[in-house]
Structure 1
Amino acid sequence: MTSPTLIRIGVMGAHSTGKTLLMRRMEMELRGQGIPVARTGKLGRRAALVPLPKMQHHTVASTMWIIATGIADEIAAAARLEEGLVQVVLADRACWDALAYFRATQEWHRRLAAQADRGAPHRLASAHGHTYDLLLATVLAPTLPVERRHDHDARYRALVDRHTHDLPREENIPYVRVTGDPASQELAVEHALQLCTTEAPV
């Protein structure tokens, strides 16, 4: 009997750009196809409970915590593959996401952490970041409202968006840009469905 294939899909992007909604749509569509799915997320809220700084106050420590916790969540979800309970892991905030936020924080403050510390989040993200079968990156639309729970700073949000799209290019990782346009989002969902229905036995 052929072992089931695990598919990892990650999403990254600035706050209030539709990441979670996109993941929910994918989860709903995949479950509708009978494909077992696990979705990770809520890393920002959990970091705040530790408590750790967030947004433009990110530190090396908070970034490392978010990357490591996200990776641990994905590994825990993937561990259920052999039980047949999971065939697709949807990572709401792929590990590259926290690195984009950290780089934006450094630029926002116009200062850099010590070289040795600054490299640690990148090494951790790189160790896991090439495992995604599909990486989606949402695109900032400045006219869209920001959720009230976010500490909104327009310049910081724009920096996060830029680093979100710079990182995959620098790392030579194929990714799909997803704008706020319904057609773009629909295409992203279709892309995920095609990947999962081709690779995952149903």
Structure 2
Amino acid sequence: MTTPQPLRIGIMGTHSTGKTTLLKRIEMELRAHGIPVARTGRLGKRAALTGLPKMQHHTATSTEWIITQGIVDEIAATRPAPEPIQVILADRAPFDALAYFHAAQQWRHETPDPLEQERLHLLASTQTPKYHLLLATVLDPALPVEHKHDYDTRYHTLVDHHTHTLLTEHAIPYQRVTSDPDSQAHAAERALQLCLNQTTP
């Protein structure tokens, strides 16, 4: 018997814009309604622990690692009965890694390799149809940032720009999430209603 595939909700956006906090909020809402959920994440930190570059130093190799490791994590998050996971919350959907890479290349004033760019885009594109909802945070320059990041103001802004540009250029449906509490609440409510309508607690 074929096991139904879980719903997938992914999030993208530049660092220090509340991605992880929003996913935690959605996770708590789902668990409160009895929906088995798994959350993936920490891809950038794990890539750095392997010695791969991060932030404005991202390369094609580190980008490919993040995309493929995210795929592996989502596959591993599914589990069979008696309590199969019904929803996977992905902290950094595949196009997020591309946005960070494009921003890094622009930050370094590098000319992109067309073949490398196409290969990575194809890899990310194979995963996009799996997502039932994509959320993308919007940078609010007025908000403080987490200084634990390798922080650079220009790079921070470039990632935000490339995140929304990629999604728009590839006609990928997504919901913008600003720092406004109403926007955050609307995103969480949309995710909750989607899951309630399409899962069986």
TM-score when scaled to structure 2? 0.95
Deviation of the 1:3 alpha carbon: 5.8
Q: Hey, what does 1:28 align to over in structure 2?
A: 28
C-alpha distance in 2 between matches for 1:16 and 1:146 = 5
Deviation of the 1:71 alpha carbon: 0.9
Deviation of the 1:4 alpha carbon: 4.3
Q: Hey, what does 1:125 align to over in structure 2?
A: 124
C-alpha distance in 2 between matches for 1:81 and 1:173 = 30
C-alpha distance in 2 between matches for 1:157 and 1:195 = 31
Q: Hey, what does 1:165 align to over in structure 2?
A: 164
Q: Hey, what does 1:104 align to over in structure 2?
A: 103
SS of the aligned residue for 1:21 comes to helix
Unaligned ranges ≥5, structure 2: none
- Deviation sequence 1:149-193 (CA, Å, 0-9, x none): 111111111110011111111111110000011110000000000
Checking the alignment, whether the CA contact within 8 Å between 1:5 and 1:200 is kept in structure 2 is no
Q: Hey, what does 1:179 align to over in structure 2?
A: 178
The aligned amino acid for 1:167 is L
Task: After superposing the two structures, state which structure 1 stretch, 1-10 or 49-58, moved more.
Answer: 1-10
**How many positions carry a matched residue from both structures?**
201
The aligned amino acid for 1:129 is T
Checking the alignment, whether the CA contact within 8 Å between 1:4 and 1:200 is kept in structure 2 is no
Judging changes above 3 Å, is the alpha-carbon distance between structure 1 residues 75 and 150 closer, same or farther for their aligned structure 2 residues? same
C-alpha distance in 2 between matches for 1:133 and 1:118 = 25
Q: Hey, what does 1:10 align to over in structure 2?
A: 10
Deviation >3 Å, runs of 4+: 1-5
C-alpha distance in 2 between matches for 1:148 and 1:16 = 9
Is 1:51–2:45 an aligned residue pair? no
Unaligned ranges ≥5, structure 1: none
Deviation of the 1:120 alpha carbon: 2.0
SS of the aligned residue for 1:90 comes to strand
Checking the alignment, whether the CA contact within 8 Å between 1:12 and 1:137 is kept in structure 2 is yes
Deviation of the 1:83 alpha carbon: 4.4
